[in-house]
Amino acid sequence: MFEPDPFAGRTAVVTGAAGGIGAALAAELGARGMSVVLADIDELGVTRTAAELRERGVRALGVGVDVSDPESVAALAAASYAEFGSVELLCNNAGVLLFGSVADSSIGDWRWLSSVNVEGMLNCLNAFLPRMVEAGGWRHVMNTASTHAFLPDTANSALYSATKHAVVGITLGLRGELAEEGIGVTLLCPGQAATRILDSQRNRPHSFGRRAGEPFGTGVIPMAIEPREVARAAVDGILRGDPLVFALPEFTRGTFRGQVEEMWRLADNALGDRAESACPVGD
C-alpha cells in the first residue's frame, strides 16, 4: 500500500535495540516521525537507549525482552499496545552470532543460535501479526538476516548461516502470505557493520551449556560500516516496499557479488549436468 509518509504518527517495534543496528533503526524511525518501542534482553541498555531518544523528542519506550521466550514476547506486545495503541512496523532484528566449525560446535550452540535468530523472530510474528493483520492501513514487517545467508562457503559460520538461511526462507514465505493482507515484508541483509555482534555470547544463557571458544575475537568488526548507514538503507527500503535490502561496505560489494554469482554458478552447473544426463547420447 503506497502512502507518501507512512511513518508519521505510527509505531514501530524494534528488537535487539539496546545498541548496534537495532538502536540505529530505532533512532532513524524516530527521526522520521514514528513512535518506537525498543526491545532487548539487555534491559538496562535498552532503557538507556530509549531515554536518549526521548531526549531528542522521540516517543520511545524501552522494554526488556527475551525474544526466545514466547511469554516474554507476549508481555512486550502488551506493553507496546498499552503505551502506543497500535503497531504498524515490526522489525525483527535481535540476533546472535557464533563462529566455529560444525564439528566443534555443541548442540547447545545450535539451540542458542536458533532460539534467538529463528524462534525469536517467530515468537514476535506470532505475538504481533494477528493484531497487525486486523488493523488495516499501512503495515510492514522487516526481518534481519545477513549476507551470510548468501555465501557459497560458510566454513566457521555454518550454524549462524543456517539460522539466517531460515530467516530468508521464512521471510520470503511471509512476503507472499502477507501480500494478501496488504502488509509489506522486507528482508534486511547487513554485512560487516560496526556493532558488538562478535561479542554475542555476553547474552548467552547458562541453560545452553558452556560458552563456545572465540576464534575470531570479541572486538568491533573492523573496516565496517556504521550501524546508522544500515538503518538508513533499511528504512529507505521499507518506504519503497523493497523485498530485499543489502547494507555492506562499498569496498566489499564486488567480492560479495562474486560470491552470490558463485552460488548461482554451482546451481547452474548442477542443472546443466542433469539436463545432459537426461538426454541420451546420439539423440
Ligand X SMILES: NC(=O)c1ccc[n+]([C@@H]2O[C@H](COP(=O)([O-])OP(=O)(O)OC[C@H]3O[C@@H](n4cnc5c(N)ncnc54)[C@H](O)[C@@H]3O)[C@@H](O)[C@H]2O)c1
Q: Which three cell numbers stand for residue 12?
A: 514501530
Active site residue 160: yes
Question: Which range in 18-26, 53-61, 151-159, 237-245 contacts ligand X by CB under 6 A?
Answer: 18-26
**Residue among 58, 61, 63, 66 that touches ligand X (CB under 6 A):** 66
Backbone region of residue 47 per phi and psi (left: phi > 0; alpha: psi in -120 to 50; beta: other values): alpha
> Which listed residue (110, 128, 160, 246) is catalytic?
160
Task: DSSP for 68-132, please give it.
Answer: T-HHHHHHHHHHHHHHHS---EEEE---------TTT--HHHHHHHHIIIIIHHHHHHHHHHHHH
- Return d(Cα 47, Cα 62) in angstroms, integer: 5
CB of 193 to ligand X, least distance (A): 4
Q: Which residue is nearest to ligand X (CB)?
A: 95
Q: Which three cell numbers stand for residue 77?
A: 506486545
Residue list 142-181, contact with ligand X (CB under 6 A): 144, 146
Nearer to ligand X, 30 or 191 (CB): 191
Nearer to ligand X, 53 or 65 (CB): 65
Residues 6+ apart with CB under 8 A from 50: 17, 26, 36, 38, 60, 61, 62
Binding-residue pattern over the window 185 to 224 for ligand X, x denoting contact by CB under 6 A = -----xxxx-xxx--x--x-----------------x---
Residue 16 near ligand X by CB under 6 A:
yes
Q: Is 279 helix (H, G, I), strand (E, B) or coil?
A: coil
Question: Which range in 40-48, 103-111, 172-180, 207-215 contacts ligand X by CB under 6 A?
Answer: 40-48
Note the residues at the interface with ligand X (CB under 6 A): 15-16, 18-22, 40-42, 65-68, 93-97, 116, 120, 144, 146, 190-193, 195-197, 200, 203, 221
Report, as residue numbers or ranges, the catalytic residues: 160
